[in-house]
Amino acid sequence: MEVSPASASTHSRLTAFQVLQSRDPGVAKRALAVRVNGELRDTSCEVSATDTVEPVLPEDPEALEIYRHSTAHLLAAAVLDLFPGTKLGAGPALKDDPKGGFYYDFLQEKPFTPDDLARIEKRMREIVKQNTPFRRVEMPREEALQKFSADELKCYFIGEKGGENPSFYTLGDQFIDFCRGPHVPSAGRIKAFKLLSIAGAYWLGDERNPQMQRIYGTSFFTQEELDAWLQQREEAARRDHRRLGKELDLFSFTDEVGSGLALFHPKGALILHLLQEFLYEELFAREYQLVRTPHVASSRLWETSGHTAKYRGDMYPAMQFEDEPLEYQLKPMNCPFHIQIYKSQPRSYRELPLRYAEMGTVYRYERSGVQHGLLRVRGFTQDDAHLFCTPETLEAEIIGCLEFARKVYATFGFEYRIELSVRDPENHAKYLGGPEVWSLAEAALTQALDRLGLAYTRVEGEAAFYGPKIDIKVIDAIRRTWQLATIQVDFNLPQRFGLEYIGADNRPHPPIMVHRAILGSLERFFGLLIEHFGGRFPVWLAPVQVAVLPIADRWNDHAAGIAQTLRQAGLRVELDARSEKIGAKIRQAQLRKVPYMVILGDREAETGNLAVRTRSDGDIGTFSVGDFIARVTQEVQQRVITP
């Protein structure tokens, strides 16, 4: 809605808040920020008579990020009150981050302690009670650099991101920091927050720079929401894949091998094998062709693909050997290799679509501050695929990818939500390719989703410069979201590598390339599965499916025979022949989260039957050996999801 000219003539200067108040005082009171001509601004900003002003309310998508960014500034203001002389680094809100809703980096000699967090939180509440306003200050770049010349951190942000008139925000007498905003009108609008932890972080993520102290926190619009999140966080800690990975002997990291490089122990490697086996089964059913590519490639390949220019900071340094003129680099992506296979011979439209798939291991230099168990590592394997198709077959290929993803996620019991990222409708110039190919690709993605009846959110302006995409985010057992599948249309790489096929008109045409991953990183997906199931893997994935537990040593030979029979039937079995009481053996099997326990004593030896327990239901009765094998085998074949 535009500002009323009549109102503008009455007041020489109107703020966005005054405009909202004139329309609806209730909305004005609830507004956290505004959109002025589509741009996010503070409610205190001045507007003209021709500006369109709309409120940002708590229920709007942008609201929580603004709210949490403001809480981060509230944290920094409290720190400066309590620890004068502290220098401020970055303080962003976080999206879908398990560590919390925001953080702020601080540079000071004395380490923060848990007691300090309590003091800081108390001071934050005092500032909230005072309802201290957030104020935006702008000044010319040179004036700002001179004013903050003693603070090299602020000067860096001013120089790199400030533009000609950098903006700053104040909160109280001590706090002022570079920030583009917007923020909530005052600290009194922040109702529920909690400081969570302290961590180390290098300035700008570079180990050569000074180490700062990072305080994580979160905030919500109500105390009830915060309490629910904290309860979820406690449950997440119980399911933490790093702790369970050690307890269940699945994987480890060592300093000798290097940071972010996982070692999978026999049980963990077996689960990864079973995951890949499942994916291969689905790939072959969908007429994918497997390829295999090297772990290193000439730097020339990465220059042609554009990875060197765009991702140099995430790639490992180039290597040179003997007198070879070429340098080599560990691969950060698989796609240029698949392109080389496509280029290895002339292609006809009759061959397309071609679907190349690979469990390809890639390497990216993740900074130490962002590594997190299996969820963020430096070497990982992608369930990668690249589809080369014609405009006529693009929609069908996207449908195939979506159906593939649906099948996989249903197998693990995941709910999910879908986002469709398309061009910014106001700025087509920043995208590669003409409007006709973009319209084709966006229509194909949209129609594929609609044909399958899938709900999705359309996100304008989030497409990559080289094509639109579909992202699928799964929801785990404690309602956290994880970005997994990506179906990305790419006009860029076929052009950069000069890919062609001969069409029905006997003329060359560039193929359309689709990047497709379902699980993404297998390591990250493994970590997700551990937390989703709390280590209680379904029978088909459990590294040990059955624990055979003799009640006394005299039944060890009988138990060994039963274990061998179950193994011959294809089950994964461990025999616990220790001289321990049966209660201790059952507890150990429960701790190792084994789905089935077979108890053997006098009665079972006499009858030849098995007394069976499950990890969830306890004693479930007596089974013949054949019936028990049939039960477990059916669960494995059907990939039943068991608690």
CA triple 113-114-118, angle to 5 deg: 115
Quote helix, strand, coil % in the chain, to nearest 5.
40, 25, 35
Identified catalytic residue from 364, 367, 524, 593: 364
> DSSP readout, 327-362?
-EEE-S-SHHHHHHHHTTS--BTTTPPEEEEEEEEE
- Is 265 assigned a catalytic role? no
Q: d(Cα 290, Cα 359) in Å, to the nearest integer? A: 9
Please state, in angstroms and rounded to a whole number, the distance separating the CA atoms of residues 623 and 544. 19
Going 629 to 632 to 634 to 637, the CA torsion angle's sign is negative
Number of Cβ atoms within 10 Å of the Cβ of 294: 10
Output the six-digit token pair for 272: 């990864």
Is residue 585 part of the annotated active site? The answer reads: no
Catalytic, out of 515, 524, 592, 615 = 515
Torsions phi, psi of 621, nearest 5?
A: 110, -170
Residue pair 388/342 in contact by the 8 Å Cβ criterion: yes
In angstroms, the Cα distances linking 112 to 104, 109, 125, 223, 485 are 13, 9, 19, 26, 39
Residues 577 and 98: their CA atoms lie apart, in Å, by 41
190 with 197: CB under 8 angstroms?
no
Q: Which of 189, 241, 307, 386 is catalytic?
A: 386
* 231 annotated active-site: no
Report d(CA 385, CA 212) in Å as an integer.
40
Q: Which two tokens stand for residue 523?
A: 């390591």
Comparing C-alpha atoms, which of 269, 283, 325 is closest to residue 523?
A: 269
Q: Which one is catalytic: 42, 81, 116, 384?
A: 384
Residue of 329, 382, 488, 545 with catalytic role: 382
Amino acid at 143: E
Q: Which of 155, 179, 335, 401 is catalytic?
A: 335
Closest by CA to 279, choosing from 367, 188, 189, 381, is: 381
In angstroms, the Cα distances linking 138 to 80, 163, 170, 183 are: 21, 11, 11, 15
Going by C-beta distance under 8 Å and a sequence separation of 6 or more, which residues neighbour residue 84? 174
Active site residue 473: no
Task: Work out the widest C-alpha separation in the chain, in whole angstroms.
Answer: 100
Among candidates 302, 306, 288, 340, which has minimal Cα distance to 464? 306
Residues in the chain: 643
The verdict on whether 515 is a catalytic residue reads: yes
Using left for φ > 0, alpha for ψ between -120 and 50, and beta otherwise, residue 181 falls in left
- Of the residues 69, 469, 532, 592, which is catalytic? 469
328 to 159, 301, 305: CA distances (angstroms): 35, 9, 14
**Those residues with Cβ within 8 angstroms of residue 252's Cβ, 6 or more apart along the chain or in another chain:** 245, 246, 262, 263, 265
Q: Would strands 469-475 and 457-460 be described as parallel, antiparallel, or unpaired?
A: unpaired
What positions carry a catalytic annotation? Answer: 335, 364, 382, 384, 386, 469, 515
